A and B are shown apart, each in its own frame.
Chain A
Amino acid sequence: MKSLADLKALRDQTKKRLDLRDGENDYRIVVGMGTCGISAGARPVLNTFVEEVAKHNYSASVTQSGCMGLCSYEPIVEVFDKQGNKTTYVHMNPAKAEEVTRKHIGQGEICEEFTIGAAGR
């Protein structure tokens, strides 16, 4: 450690890891991980969200919930913004998860075509 700049670099390196414990994020991504969700492929979806959010340094936490009662639509992912508005995505897969992270979390644009509203039509 030679200078304050070295210290700041070290801080920023670890900071991301600790953000997990702070809980103040713009978005909260909740992946349904009931038995139905897991068997429909929720685990790779969850992992994709975790990796993509970290890669782009987005302000979002990724958590899980149990079965949401719509087993035929699994894997289901809910995205909450700071105001508590909920968007429900259904039939998710890693590719869709990547796109939702990029568009919804990154740019604030809801991916309408993956939402439960679109699936019901």
Chain B
Amino acid sequence: MERMNVLICGGTGCTSSKSDLIEKEFNRVLEEMGLDKEVKVVKTGCFGLCQKGPIIAIHPDRVFYCQVKVEDVSEIVNEHIYKGRRVERLEMHDIDEETKEKVFSMDKIRFYAKQKRVALKNCGVINPEDINEYIARDGYMALGKVLTEMTPQEVVDEIKKSGLRGRGGGGFLTGLKWQFAAQEESDQKYVICNADEGDPGAFMDRSILEGDPHSVIEAMAIAGYAIGANYGYIYIRAEYPIAVERLNIAIKQARELGLLGKNIFSTDFSFDLELRLGAGAFVCGEETALIASIEGKRGMPMPKPPFPAHKGVWGKPTIINNVETLANVAQIINNGADWFKSMGTEKSSGTKVFALGGKVVNTGLVEVPMGTTLREVIYEIGGGCPNNKRFKAVQTGGPSGGCLTEDDLDSPIDFDTLVAKGSMMGSGGMIVMDEDNCMVDIARFYMDFIVDESCGKCTPCRVGTKRLLEMLTDICEGRGTMELIDEMEQLCYTIKSTALCGLGQTAPNPVLSTLRFFRDEYEAHVKDKRCPAHVCKALLSYSIDPDKCKKCSLCSKKCPTGAISGIAGKEVFKIDTSKCIKCGACREACHFGAVEMR
């Protein structure tokens, strides 16, 4: 008889910190102590607080242990599982603001208190490799309901009514997309799940597929019924091996139970699907490029129209939905459109998962109702910038988005507000930057990414972004002029209005948005040849303040290039800037703060 469950995160983050070995060790120790019959070890999906991984949950006690090591397992089993004494040193906790005492419960830990898990409902609760656990949480009920109680049009109407918008970037109404495809007359239609998650820093789709693969499969079958399609593709990048493996297991189990295949629930409806592995090109997240890639062609975008709903994969009507969008579908059918609309804002209903990263205390996955403010996400859930550094900006929407500043912290996050502020929702990456980040360098980082990922089909993107990168590099390395900034801005607008696909049209956004909010930083690079955040190495110079120098010689011992000269105990030390490689080792070594950086 099972009395206790040990849930171990098997997501990519925790697996990389050896959660698989921890699982083995739990099984070994439990068996050794004769507890293996009453305590079940379950590998589950992401708990969200990846920063503190590997995370382990023990139920029914609702205890979370973080940063667990293989060596800790025996203590957890002996103390907690056998004797009921929690291992407090590993327990996830927060400090209560009023009492200043440690709190352990989920609804008191700020990271979880404000979250509302819908798309991530099953992540960290079920074993993704066991279809029965998905079914136990009302899995495939929605598919059964639509097949036996609803007409395809009713399904489309329900999704339309819910106001669900695409979570992959554009925020197009999902129900409307389905309507267009449903209206097409064709002998064959397709449903595609776009799992080509490519924004640097975004990993919510991966976590959903790893933690709850059936929610996506069920939603694809529902979409198939709604538009009249009997076949689907999940386009996923090969660099997500855990997600691919779990999807394959899930598809096999669904087929065995007859939830995929012919005559599902004894109706006339048949549906099956397969995985298509992409090589990880950013542009393949663009739907026409994705279709080309599925067809075995080179992943390059095509002009629209024709839209995929009219002419998609193999020239047939196709809908393409993002992973997180699909993860909401079954719950909308089960709980009703009104339930979904009750969360979020008027024009952006439901919740959104954000991948919180960068200069923030709690990095990880966060799901909140739309309309939550940036301040709540970054400060209350994320815990603010570490080491009391000053918040500078947050980049949303990845390389296609833009940055938002302190002035925007209290604006609600939804599709339209972000666009109005010059950024976008994108897939939900949220990179926090503090005073130590140089915004010109950030723009250069994103442009470097775009240049790498541009498919090369159209000139504005292929050549234009390359030129932008060169200009940004010039500015970072001290060769910039004021004219260059103007020229660069002009080029941005030209690319925006002439590039072929979404990737190119949005590529200049990081440059434009940093120019808009941080023009002073660009000007400091150009006019004063100075990087205010001390990031751009070419503009840095180190010197030793003779008044503060105690002639201890520590700096010269640490210098890898012998650029520091002086006599210990007798003469203050000096840096020869022609030999200095600006590594900062002397500054770290100095106990008296005598090494200055500017």
With A11-B135, A18-B136, A23-B60 already in contact, the answer to whether A1 and B3 are too (CB < 8 A) is: no
The stretch from A47-55, A79-87, A89-97 touching chain B is: A47-55
Interface size class of B (residues with CB under 8 A): 35 or more
Bound-complex Cα distance A35 to B7 (A): 26
Asked if A63 CB lies within 8 Å of chain B CBs, one says yes
The stretch from B77-85, B194-202, B460-468, B493-501 touching chain A is: B77-85
CB distance from B21 to the nearest CB of A (A): 23
**What A residues does B186 contact at CB under 8 A?**
none
Asked if B140 CB lies within 8 Å of chain A CBs, one says yes
What is the chain A residue whose CB lies nearest that of B84? A64
What is the chain B residue whose CB lies nearest that of A30? B84
Bound-complex Cα distance A13 to B133 (A): 10
Contact status B137-A63, CB under 8 Å: no
Asked if B59 CB lies within 8 Å of chain A CBs, one says yes
**What B residues does A47 contact at CB under 8 A?**
1, 3, 38
**What A residues does B258 contact at CB under 8 A?**
1-2
Contact status B83-A4, CB under 8 Å: no
Contact status A7-B2, CB under 8 Å: no
Q: Mark A89-111, 1 if CB is under 8 A from B, else 0.
A: 00000000000000000000000
Contact status A15-B136, CB under 8 Å: yes
**What B residues does A4 contact at CB under 8 A?**
141, 144-145, 148, 265
What is the chain A residue whose CB lies nearest that of B106? A23
Contact status B265-A1, CB under 8 Å: yes
What is the chain B residue whose CB lies nearest that of A5? B144
Contact status A46-B3, CB under 8 Å: yes
With A2-B265, A47-B38 already in contact, the answer to whether A14 and B136 are too (CB < 8 A) is: yes
Contact status A17-B60, CB under 8 Å: no
With A15-B136, A18-B133 already in contact, the answer to whether A66 and B59 are too (CB < 8 A) is: no
What is the chain A residue whose CB lies nearest that of B60? A61
Q: How many residues of A contact B (CB 8 A)?
A: 35
Bound-complex Cα distance A21 to B127 (A): 12
Q: Mark A27-70, 1 if CB is under 8 A from B, else 0.
A: 00011111100100000001100110010000001111110000
Asked if A118 CB lies within 8 Å of chain B CBs, one says no
Contact status A14-B135, CB under 8 Å: yes
**What A residues does B132 contact at CB under 8 A?**
10, 13-14
Bound-complex Cα distance A66 to B7 (A): 22
Asked if B425 CB lies within 8 Å of chain A CBs, one says no
Which of B2, B3, B4 is the most central at the interface, judged by chain A CB atoms within 10 Å of its CB?
Answer: B3
Using a CB–CB cutoff of 8 Å, the interface residues on chain A facing chain B are 1-4, 7-8, 10-11, 13-15, 17-18, 20-21, 23, 25, 30-35, 38, 46-47, 50-51, 54, 61-66
Interchain residue pairs with CB less than 8 A apart (18): A3-B265, A13-B136, A17-B136, A18-B136, A20-B2, A20-B5, A21-B7, A21-B125, A23-B60, A23-B62, A25-B60, A31-B84, A35-B83, A46-B3, A51-B1, A61-B60, A63-B60, A63-B84
